[in-house]
Amino acid sequence: MTCTGCALLCEDIDVRDGEVRHACRIGTAHILNRQQIDPMVDQEVVDIDDAIRHAAALLADAERPMFLGFGNSITETQAAGVRLAEKIGAGIDPCSVHTSLIDDIVHSRVRTCTLPEVRDQADVILFWGADPMNTHPRLMSGYAYYPRGKNRQHGWEEDRTAIAIDVRRSHTASICKSVHEIIPGRDVEFIDALMLALRNKVPKTVYDSKRVLKLAGTLKKAEFGVIFAGSGLVGSVPRDAIIRLMDELNEFSDFRILPLFSQYNLRSIATAAACEHSGGCTPTPASLHDADCLLCVGFDLASSLPQACDIDASIIVIDPSETLTAGCADVVIPCAAGGVDLAGTAVRMDGTKIDLPSITKTGQTGAGARISDLSIMNRLLEAV
Ligand code: SF4
């Protein structure tokens, strides 16, 4: 079975008699999570059909609807969401700082690779603004650092060099051979210094130029380098700075980049919704104030934007679990969780399509069963 606890989509999960095997702590908690919300209208518990009818009425009446999220939905639900958005003229925002990089990867503006290629080929691995030991716990053992691969038979001891670049010393940094601390707000300066160093020029910078030169030397010697780009990188630098750095690295060696995000199917919706904002797609209070109806699908708007509940727009939440946004939403519709009690497909962080069989056998019928967000989306499509 497949875990949808993060975008790594580990496919070796076994669930027997309520015991989860092979999943990390995040995946186990995700699979066992049963904190379901009740269907609600105006914060009163109602029948789920009433909640769907009410949501359809709000969407049909909206003049400037906006859909947020979908990164934690199966691809089939995303497709229905795109059709619904087209039907009522809504915009879709996956609400992730990673959408720009995904767009650059999909349109070949930067070189990328698959996770098995990282395992088989990578000798220099950069974790930039990323802490996979806490966000994607099985990345290091499955692909990025510890495993022996086809051309990396000696494993991490001899074959791989891990480097962390971040504003703080993360857990991941503790296993890296070198760590470079970024001064908050001065990320681009570090990239510029590194690019000069790659050309054997001594950078005049607030950073230790000797260490930057040494880092450039390591990167230039890479046979197959990979940057795992966390939100600390893509959320802090303009997308063109990443493209320039990748171009420069590829003048000297073979370098790839992979975005490291948590939402298990973000790559799919980001590709479908093709974000055009240069600085990423995180909604700002200003852009949200333009909307008169917000549909949050598997996305907790209030946790990333606390002032969301003060926005003068109706809010509809479709989510498998309790969220902060549900606490101030006009309509709440609980749904099944993709890969847990709903089968479908998803796209892994490296672009590989993965099947998601349903883990639980309770399915979508019977008392307490959860209706899928795909069925909810299809019912909204029929109703509006
Ligand atoms: S690393 Fe991600 S996909 Fe794999 S078991 Fe953990 S949460 Fe699930």
CATH classification of the domain holding 160 = 3.40.228.10
Instruction: Spell out a b/e string for 342-371, using b for 16 or more CB atoms within 10 Å of the CB, else e.
Output: bbbbbbbbbbeebebebbbeeebeeeeebb
Residue 5 falls within a domain, yes or no?
Answer: no
The residue whose C-alpha atom lies closest to atom 5 belonging to ligand 1 is: 23
Candidates 13, 22, 26: which one to mutate for ligand 1, based on the most atoms within 8 Å of Cβ?
26
Tell me, yes or no, whether 83 and 122 share the same domain: no
3-state class (DSSP) for residue 361: coil
Tell me, yes or no, whether 361 and 343 share the same domain: yes
Residue 4 falls within a domain, yes or no?
Answer: no
Tell me, yes or no, whether 215 and 332 share the same domain: no
Place of tokens 């030169």: 213
pTM for the predicted model, two decimal places: 0.92
DSSP-derived letter for residue 159 is T
Task: Tokens for 188, please give them.
Answer: 């681009």
Tell me, yes or no, whether 77 and 109 share the same domain: no
What's the gap in Å between 178 CA and the centre of ligand 1? 26
Long-range contacts of residues 269-272, Cβ cutoff 8 Å, at least 24 apart: 269/70, 269/71, 269/73, 269/78, 269/81, 269/92, 269/94, 270/71, 270/94, 270/96, 270/98, 270/99, 270/102, 270/103, 271/102, 271/103, 271/106, 271/347, 272/78, 272/79, 272/82, 272/92
DSSP string covering 252-266: HS-EEEEE--SSTTH
Last residue of a domain, one of 229, 259, 289: 259
Residue 2 falls within a domain, yes or no?
Answer: no
Tell me, yes or no, whether 103 and 250 share the same domain: yes
Tell me, yes or no, whether 188 and 222 share the same domain: yes
Residue 222 falls within a domain, yes or no?
Answer: yes
Tell me, yes or no, whether 253 and 134 share the same domain: yes
Tell me, yes or no, whether 282 and 246 share the same domain: no
Q: What residues are in contact with ligand 1 under a 6 Å CB criterion?
A: 3, 5-6, 8-10, 23-24, 26-27, 136-138
Q: Which residues pair with 226 in a beta bridge?
A: 125, 256
Residue 220 falls within a domain, yes or no?
Answer: yes
Tell me, yes or no, whether 230 and 292 share the same domain: no
What's the gap in Å between 295 CA and the centre of ligand 1? 27
Q: Which of 345, 266, 374 is nearest to 2 (CA)?
A: 345
| CATH assignment of the domain containing 88 | 3.40.50.740
Residue 31 falls within a domain, yes or no?
Answer: no
The residue whose C-alpha atom lies closest to atom 2 belonging to ligand 1 is: 6
Tell me, yes or no, whether 146 and 242 share the same domain: yes
DSSP string covering 97-112: TTHHHHHHHHTTSS--
Extract the residue ranges of the chain whose pLDDT is less than 50. Answer: 275-285, 363-367
Distance of alpha carbon 261 from the chain centroid: 3
Q: Where are the beta strands (DSSP E) in the chain?
A: 14-16, 19-21, 40-41, 44-45, 65-69, 91-93, 124-128, 161-166, 178-181, 225-229, 255-259, 293-297, 314-319, 331-334, 344-347, 353-356
Tell me, yes or no, whether 111 and 230 share the same domain: yes
Atom of ligand 1 nearest to the CA of 23: 5
Range of the domain at 153: 99-259
What's the gap in Å between 63 CA and the centre of ligand 1? 40
Residue 11 falls within a domain, yes or no?
Answer: no
- CB contact set of 344 (below 8 Å; sequence gap of 6+): 74, 75, 76, 77, 338, 356, 374
Residue 16 falls within a domain, yes or no?
Answer: no
Tell me, yes or no, whether 197 and 309 share the same domain: no
Atom of ligand 1 nearest to the CA of 138: 1
Total domains in the chain come to 2
Q: State the average pLDDT for the chain.
A: 91
Answer for the pair 148, 141: CB distance below 8 angstroms, yes or no.
no
> What pLDDT is recorded for position 287?
65
